[in-house]
Amino acid sequence: MKKLRIAAMVSGHFTTPPPPGVIYAPMDIAVAVSEGLAKRGHDVTFFAPEGSKIKVSKNETAGLKPLRQNGKLAILAGPNVGGAEKAKIYNLWDQFLLSAIYKESLDGKFDVVHIHPVDRALPLAYAMRNIPTVYTLHDPIYPWRAEIFRMFSSPNQHYVSISDSQRLPAPDLNYLATIYNGIDTKEIPFYEKPKGNYLLFVGRLHPEKGVAEAVEIARKTGDELIILGPPVTGEYWDKKIKPYLGEKIRHIGVVSRKELYEYYGNARATLVPIQWEEPFGLVMIESMATGTPVIAFRRGSVPEIVVGGKNGFIVDTVDEMAEAIKRVGAIRRNDCRIHVEENFGMERMIDRYEEAFLQLVGTKSG
């Protein structure tokens, strides 16, 4: 099997892994894929700011300092730096690393360039058409984004979708594969019998994630609800969540990975009342890996992850979710775990990326 030379990049804003308190799922996936491919003997160079360290062939910083790390660099707090200027700085910080990647690619150092901040790499990949570039799409393909993808399309640019549903707004893009996100189930304990009787919500406390709906459901059913996610401020929090916090509905905040699995495993069910077309949803497979079933709205990738009646329930309304909570005891927790192991394991994800990259450079494994 050909050994690939791969360049990978996620963000110039902070180190890889990120600083404490920063939750960034694309970085988790990028690190897992890069380390997994390096472990299989491929030559992987990971581009990230100074202070980054992952287990690949080479960590390349190009001399870039992280933009956000234990505070902010002075450039963000300088005079005449408003919202528009900050957006430009964030953009250019990423493009500095991307430029370093493509500069080395011009010398023939890489077979594949694997990029996660797709929007910021498009102009470089479009101009350098002899360099195979693969983007993993982590966000929904909104109409404006689909139009830009088409505008910058070229034969050397390929897209990996993280669910089939993610492709629906733009089915004509140059897709390389659909590859589901994976997790290392060996690192996630299985809880055959939960110690708690609470409902759980995990994620960003933003409207699209449906935390207000989770609160409404808990109030309807009278169940205890534990909310895990970084604290926020603003009208949504102040009006839809904060007034209902108390003994029954609690916001814990950000917890360690070990504590997160404990909260998952000891929950009665994890609620996923999403209000957008979720491209994937790591929360669902993490919960099911511990044995805890998921009750989710029928949007985005949910029908590709949740098998109704086997590892949870798919519903359409708040009332249906409240009703499904009564039936969650019929779900066998072992079935939840097996479903993740068979469909969303780490090695399966790395297999699929390896196959896709080998296919791209015109070789076959084996």
Q: Tens digit of pLDDT for each residue in 251-296?
A: 999 898 999 999 999 999 999 999 999 999 999 999 999 999 999 9
* 228 in a structural domain: yes
What pLDDT, on the 0 to 100 scale, is given for residue 363?
55
Is residue 321 domain-shared with residue 224, that is, in the same domain? yes
- With a cut of 70, say whether residue 364 has pLDDT above it: no
* 276 in a structural domain: yes
Query: Domain range for residue 311?
Result: 185-343
* 135 in a structural domain: yes
pLDDT band at 366 (very low <50, low <70, confident <90, very high): very low
Is residue 286 domain-shared with residue 326, that is, in the same domain? yes
- With a cut of 90, say whether residue 11 has pLDDT above it: yes
Q: What share of the chain in percent tops pLDDT 70? A: 97
Is residue 195 domain-shared with residue 47, that is, in the same domain? no
pLDDT in tens, 157-201: 999 999 999 999 999 999 999 999 999 999 999 999 999 999 999
Is residue 339 domain-shared with residue 349, that is, in the same domain? no
* 365 in a structural domain: no
- With a cut of 50, say whether residue 32 has pLDDT above it: yes
* 257 in a structural domain: yes
Is residue 158 domain-shared with residue 198, that is, in the same domain? no
Is residue 199 domain-shared with residue 176, that is, in the same domain? no
Averaged pLDDT score across all residues of the chain: 94
pLDDT in tens, 60-95: 999 999 987 666 677 888 889 888 999 999 999 999
Is residue 24 domain-shared with residue 79, that is, in the same domain? yes
What pLDDT, on the 0 to 100 scale, is given for residue 18?
84
Is residue 212 domain-shared with residue 319, that is, in the same domain? yes
What Rg value do the Cα atoms of the chain yield, rounded? Answer: 21
Is residue 189 domain-shared with residue 289, that is, in the same domain? yes
Is residue 303 domain-shared with residue 353, that is, in the same domain? no
pLDDT in tens, 90-142: 999 999 999 999 999 999 999 999 999 999 999 999 999 999 999 999 999 99
Is residue 338 domain-shared with residue 349, that is, in the same domain? no
Domain CATH code at residue 354: 3.40.50.2000
pTM: 0.92
Is residue 257 domain-shared with residue 325, that is, in the same domain? yes
User: How many domains, in total, are found in the chain?
Assistant: 2
pLDDT in tens, 204-240: 999 999 999 999 999 999 999 999 998 999 999 999 9
- With a cut of 70, say whether residue 21 has pLDDT above it: no
- Secondary structure of the chain in the HEC alphabet? CCCCEEEEECCCCCCCCCCCCCCCHHHHHHHHHHHHHHHCCCEEEEECCCCCCCCCCEEECCCCCCCECCCECHHHHCCCCCHHHHHHHHHHHHHHHHHHHHHHHHCCCCCEEEECCHHHHHHHHHHCCCCCEEEECCCCCCHHHHHHHHHCCCCCEEEEECCCHHHCCCCCCCEEEECCCCECHHHCCCCCCCCCCCEEEECCCCHHHCHHHHHHHHHHHCCCEEEECCCCCCHHHHHHHHHHCCCCEEEEECCCHHHHHHHHHCCCEEEECCCCCCCCCHHHHHHHHCCCCEEEECCCCHHHHCCECCCEEEECCHHHHHHHHCCHHHCCHHHHHHHHHHHCEHHHHHHHHHHHHHHHCCCCCC
